[in-house]
Structure 1
């Protein structure tokens, strides 16, 4: 009788382990999607903030007397490539900041396709473009 009781106890333990394994297997895809979605969302927030900072730094540089468009482009490249961001485009209005007259707005714009910098892949942000711009008044 004692052997029969031990056998039943072992079967119960195996059944509980099997049930726990099945629950884990069923929940794992949901947990992975939530985790990857969170990572991807955080990455997009980081990218958007990086674009805004790059646009701001470039606009600040563009209003400095004597700074040309290549210097502003170089500033953007250094800033964004230093953050591991690729596939972006940069524009400055006016095209040559030296052409800005006193009181005119100098606008810098940085944009990129979200999928070119995604962690997981492009399925969350397929076809989306992130873009940030900053305008600063020329004071010289």
Structure 2
């Protein structure tokens, strides 16, 4: 008994057989650029929000009677250390905030360089200083 080996006709390969691969190869760099840009933007927003939170907490400490600048810096530095922010600077304005009169606005500004705080500093936010700031009124 002989088995019949019936062959089925294969569809002819058309001219679009490799088009999907070529299109993917052309679009992949654009997709990767968009992805990296989105990641860098998210990192920048995270850093900016962290600096704002650190400035806010430090400003709250300035409003407590008999606090020192070391206590203010410590409050901000705790937040910055928890979020692994590197090379940040903290500035309190006015510098004589402990002896300033009532109803004086006290501002704490926290700056950090973008290059030291991004996992992969790409082209969009390279060599920039990101700032967070908070202002409150002295009421005592």
Do they fold alike, i.e. is TM over 0.5? yes
1:124 matched to 2:124: yes
| Number of corresponding residues | 135
Cα distance in 2 for residues equivalent to 1:35 and 1:67: 45
TM-score scaled to structure 2, two decimals?
Answer: 0.82
Which whole-Å CA distance do the structure 2 matches of 1:12 and 1:71 have between them?
A: 75
Aligned twin of 2:85: 85
Cα-Cα RMSD:
2.5
CA positional deviation for 1:35: 0.6
Task: Give the TM-score normalised by structure 1.
Answer: 0.82
Asked if structure 2 preserves the Cα contact closer than 8 Å seen for 1:108 and 1:133, the reply is yes
Q: Aligned to 1:98, what secondary structure does the other structure show?
A: coil
Superimposed CA distance per residue, residues 116-139 of structure 1 (whole angstroms, 9 cap, x where no aligned partner): 222331421122221122221111
Q: Are 1:62 and 2:62 matched, yes or no?
A: yes
Q: Considering only CA atoms, is the larger Rg found in Structure 1 or Structure 2? A: 2
Q: Tell me the secondary structure at the aligned position of residue 89 of structure 2.
A: strand
> For 1:60-100, what per-residue CA distance to the aligned partner results, in whole angstroms no more than 9, with x for missing partners?
11110121111111111111121122121111123364333
1:23 is matched with which residue? 23
Of Structure 1 and Structure 2, the greater helix share is in: 1
**Contiguous gaps of at least 5 residues in structure 1:** none
**Runs of 5+ unmatched residues, structure 2:** 1-5
